[in-house]
Structures are given as structure tokens and as C-alpha cells.
């Protein structure tokens, strides 16, 4: 949930659904804004009769880990990675997963009805502070790693911590793995400055130059919550998220065949990689929470949200950039392959995208039109409508947050992918025009 003021945080958390006396853990990042909201949230908790366990500063994956292993719900407060002028309140259930949309709606309803629970002075909750909650997380992480192999490889790795809390955890693990680490931006930052896309792109290019200069086996940029990452290969090239996911998929499935999970919008290449590795790719809904819930399947080896979040279910059902770093180094050491070599093995597919404007009240009509058009065809309804064609598929899916539709085609033929995108973009436009002639056309194409 997005939060703009401490008063909102206090009032909202006072209206929580948990009964009186419930224990709720709360953690935060290093920033001043998160510290302020963190204290307001604890005030709201105790005023409603809940007991707050203050975990202080932790990376978000460690907060999830703590919630799961202690069987309590948790709240994580962070300055928004998207907009540093606001803060995010993250809510995890006692399995360390994001709360579902139904629970979100209940909480929002309580707040907007101002149905905020208050208790008598003798019923107020208590605050218990727990420091140094990373030890068990580090121990369990090391227990999942083939230390003999990674120590023998003595890998050199470049890590950009983005001034986040991952810098308080990951160095301990990499030291045990006998890695030579070149750290960047490892000191905590209380103030986060807004970055444009161009500024971030320049920063990543600089990181690539450093990775090439120091001859690191792998470069990793870890976002400030510690959940998502960018990969840099030994040549200094920054991998986009699809390429990084494909590289990690090859490493993971070569070591252990099984199920590979990713958003329904993931390219045809992932099905081809999985098939080659005697595994299978299973599409999920595009939202990160849906990916994590699907990752609980026993056969899942690796899951990704397609935006730099990677979940390794044998360790934790969470997007964890720290464990991704550790697992990637382990798998590279076991395979003896380089990132650049794995990148060259990714199947070549034509993955085309477009975005069409669509008013909220017309979205349902677009879906009905798609279903009526393909009643006799092979379709997948995991997220939107995916229509299978010879050599690939086309997906028409509504945006959850904007009045838009995404049209994505993935085939072996660039001309065919472009043709499919044009055809179904025209279909969306025609439905919108019939319902609202004043609507505008294409928002974006890639």
C-alpha cells in the first residue's frame, strides 16, 4: 500500500483486521521517511490492541523469512523505489507472502469507513524490540549452498548495494563462500533521491565498465529493498530482465529439472528452454503476488515476475536478490559456464509488444470479444486471453492499474509477431471506438 503521511499510516494500521493481542512484526529500511512511518504504524498497532515486534532495519526478504519461520504476520515499511517522495507499507501473512487482494480490500474498506478499532488503556498492545534477526537467515542460506564447490571457484563478484539494507547481510555470506567482492554503494542512505530512467541507465553502464575492468565473473545490482536485481556479465554488458531470467533458468534447470514459473507475458523462449532441459514452463498471472503463490508448487525450481524478482522455492517463497546472487555464483561454479556463453544459448524469438488505450468500463467488452472470436481455438486464460497460433502465441491482457490493454506476440518469425500485434491492436481499437468513439489510439509500442 502507498502511504504519503505518518497520520495515514497510524490510522490505517489501527484499523487492522487482526484480533486484540495478536503479534505483528514490523521492519523498515534505512531511510528517515521509513523510520517515521514505521513508528506511526507501531503506534497504530498498539492503540488497536495488537502487540508489535520491532525488527528495526531489515531487507524485505529477511522480513518475509522472519514472518514465515515465526508464524506471525509482518509489516515492512520502505521508501518507495518508484517514488522516493512516498513510502510503501508492505503486508505479509504468516507464510511470508503478500496478503491477497480480498484482504487488501477489507483493510481499505475499514479505513475509508473510519471503522478504526480503539481499546481501553489497559488493553493496549506492547512493543518488543528484537535486534540482529539476520543470523538464522544467513545460516539457512549457507546450508543451501554447495560451499566446497563455490569456495574452490573463488569467484570475483561486483555488487552494487544501492545503499540498501542488503549490505548488512550479503557480505557475510560471500565471505563464507570465499568470494572476492568489489562493493559499490554499500553505506546506508537516510535520504533517497529521485532517479530518472536516463540517470539509472547511465549508472548501470558505469557499473558494466567497472565489471569489465576488474574482470568480475558476475555483477549484481541489488535494489534498496533487497528483492530485485540486475545482472552484468563478464564483458560488462547489462542484461535486461528477460535475458537475465533466461540465463538463470538455464543454470537452475540444468542442475535440477522441474517447473519454471513466469508471467503469462514471458516470451516463447522460456518454454523452449524448459523443454530442452526436460522441464516445463508454467505461466502465471502477471502480478508479483500471484507468481509467489504459484511458486509454492512442490516441483517449482525457479519463478520470476519478469521485473528482476527471482524466487528460489527450495530456500524461500520470496523474491530475494541476495539469495539470487548466492545461487547464481553456486550454479556458475558447478557448471563452469560463463554468463555470456549462457546468453548466447537463449533461443531467438520475436517478442513484440504494444499498448492500447481502453477505458475502464470497456475492458470487459474487449475480453468478451476476444473470447467470442476464439471459442473454437486453443487459448490460455491464466491472465487475459492468450491465443496459440502456429509457432507461438498472442496475448491480450488488461493493465491492472491503468486504462490500457497490452498486446504481446511471441513467435519464431518477426514478421508474424508484428502482424499479430497489429491485428489485435486493431481489434482493441475497434471495440473501444464502438463503445467510446472519442477514445485515443496507441499509447506505446516496443
Regarding whether 163 and 18 lie in a shared domain, the answer is: no
Domain interval for residue 107? 2-129
Regarding whether 362 and 231 lie in a shared domain, the answer is: no
Regarding whether 299 and 256 lie in a shared domain, the answer is: yes
We report the CATH number of the domain holding residue 387 as: 3.30.310.50
Domain limit, last residue, from 321, 344, 367: 344
> Does the pLDDT value for residue 440 go beyond 90?
no
We report the CATH number of the domain holding residue 72 as: 3.40.120.10
In the predicted model, what is the mean pLDDT of residues 79-89? 86
Domain limit, last residue, from 75, 98, 129: 129
Regarding whether 119 and 49 lie in a shared domain, the answer is: yes
Regarding whether 280 and 139 lie in a shared domain, the answer is: yes
Regarding whether 69 and 12 lie in a shared domain, the answer is: yes
Mind listing the pLDDT tens digit for each residue in 194-225? 888 899 999 999 999 999 999 999 999 999 99
Neighbours of 295 (CB within 10 A): 24
Regarding whether 68 and 16 lie in a shared domain, the answer is: yes
> Does the pLDDT value for residue 410 go beyond 70?
yes
Regarding whether 201 and 108 lie in a shared domain, the answer is: no
The angle formed by the CA atoms of residues 277, 278 and 279, to the nearest 5 degrees, is 90
Mind listing the pLDDT tens digit for each residue in 263-278? 999 999 999 999 999 9
Give the pTM. Answer: 0.90
> Does the pLDDT value for residue 61 go beyond 60?
yes
Alpha-carbon gap, residue 409 to 267, rounded angstroms: 8
Regarding whether 96 and 30 lie in a shared domain, the answer is: yes
Regarding whether 360 and 314 lie in a shared domain, the answer is: no
Domain limit, last residue, from 129, 164, 185: 129
Regarding whether 241 and 106 lie in a shared domain, the answer is: no
Regarding whether 117 and 96 lie in a shared domain, the answer is: yes
Task: Count how many domains the chain has.
Answer: 3
> Does the pLDDT value for residue 5 go beyond 60?
no
In the predicted model, what is the mean pLDDT of residues 416-429? 97
Query: Residue 77 — φ and ψ, nearest 5°?
Result: -110, 130
Amino acid at each position: 500500500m502507498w502511504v504519503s503521511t505518518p497520520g495515514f499510516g497510524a490510522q490505517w494500521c489501527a484499523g487492522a483486521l487482526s484480533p486484540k493481542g495478536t503479534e505483528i512484526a514490523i521492519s523498515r529500511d534505512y531511510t528517515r521517511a521509513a523510520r517515521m512511518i514505521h513508528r506511526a504504524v507501531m503506534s497504530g498497532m498498539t492503540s488497536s490492541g495488537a502487540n508489535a515486534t520491532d525488527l528495526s532495519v531489515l531487507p524485505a526478504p529477511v522480513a518475509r523469512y522472519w514472518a514465515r519461520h515465526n508464524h506471525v504476520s509482518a509489516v515492512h515499511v520502505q521508501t518507495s523505489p518508484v517514488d522516493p517522495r512516498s513510502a510503501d507499507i508492505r503486508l505479509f501473512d504468516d507464510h511470508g507472502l503478500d496478503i491477497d487482494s480480498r484482504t487488501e480490500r477489507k483493510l481499505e474498506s475499514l479505513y475509508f469507513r473510519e471503522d478504526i478499532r480503539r481499546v481501553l488503556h489497559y488493553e493496549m498492545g506492547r512493543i518488543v524490540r528484537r535486534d540482529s534477526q539476520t543470523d538464522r537467515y544467513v545460516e539457512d542460506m549457507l546450508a543451501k549452498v554447495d560451499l566446497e564447490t563455490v569456495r574452490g571457484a573463488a569467484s570475483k563478484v561486483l555488487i552494487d548495494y544501492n545503499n540498501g539494507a542488503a549490505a548488512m547481510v550479503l557480505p557475510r555470506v560471500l565471505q563464507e563462500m570465499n568470494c572476492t567482492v568489489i562493493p559499490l554503494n554499500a553505506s546506508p542512505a537516510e535520504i533517497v533521491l529521485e532517479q530518472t530512467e536516463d540517470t539509472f541507465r547511465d549508472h548501470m553502464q558505469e557499473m558494466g565498465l567497472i565489471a569489465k575492468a576488474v574482470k568480475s565473473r558476475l555483477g549484481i545490482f541489488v535494489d534498496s529493498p533487497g528483492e530485485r536485481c540486475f545482472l552484468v556479465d563478464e564483458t560488462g554488458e547489462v542484461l535486461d530482465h528477460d535475458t537475465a531470467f533466461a540465463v538463470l533458468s538455464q543454470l537452475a534447470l540444468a542442475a535440477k529439472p522441474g517447473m519454471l514459473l513466469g508471467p503469462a507475458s514471458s516470451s516463447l523462449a522460456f518454454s523452449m528452454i524448459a523443454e530442452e532441459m526436460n522441464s516445463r514452463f508454467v505461466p502465471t498471472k502477471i502480478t508479483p503476488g500471484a507468481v509467489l503463490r504459484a511458486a509454492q508448487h512442490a516441483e517449482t525450481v525457479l519463478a520470476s515476475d519478469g521485473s528482476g524478482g527471482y524466487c528460489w522455492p527450495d530456500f524461500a517463497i520470496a523474491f530475494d536478490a541476495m539469495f539470487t546472487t548466492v545461487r547464481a555464483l553456486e550454479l556458475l561454479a558447478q557448471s563452469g559456464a560463463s554468463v555470456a556463453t549462457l546468453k548466447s544459448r537463449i533461443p531467438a524469438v520475436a517478442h513484440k509488444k504494444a499498448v492500447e488505450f481502453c477505458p475502464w468500463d470497456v475492458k470487459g467488452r474487449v475480453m468478451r470479444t476476444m473470447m467470442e472470436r476464439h471459442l473454437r481455438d486453443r487459448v490460455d486464460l491464466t491472465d487475459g486471453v492468450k491465443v496459440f497460433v502456429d509457432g507461438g502465441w498472442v496475448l491480450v491482457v488488461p493493465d491492472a492499474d491503468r486504462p490500457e490493454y497490452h498486446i504481446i506476440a511471441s513467435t519464431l518469425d518477426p514478421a508474424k509477431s508484428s502482424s499479430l500485434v497489429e491485428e489485435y491492436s486493431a481489434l482493441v481499437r475497434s471495440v473501444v471506438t464502438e463503445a467510446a468513439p472519442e477514445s485515443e489510439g496507441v499509447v506505446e509500442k516496443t
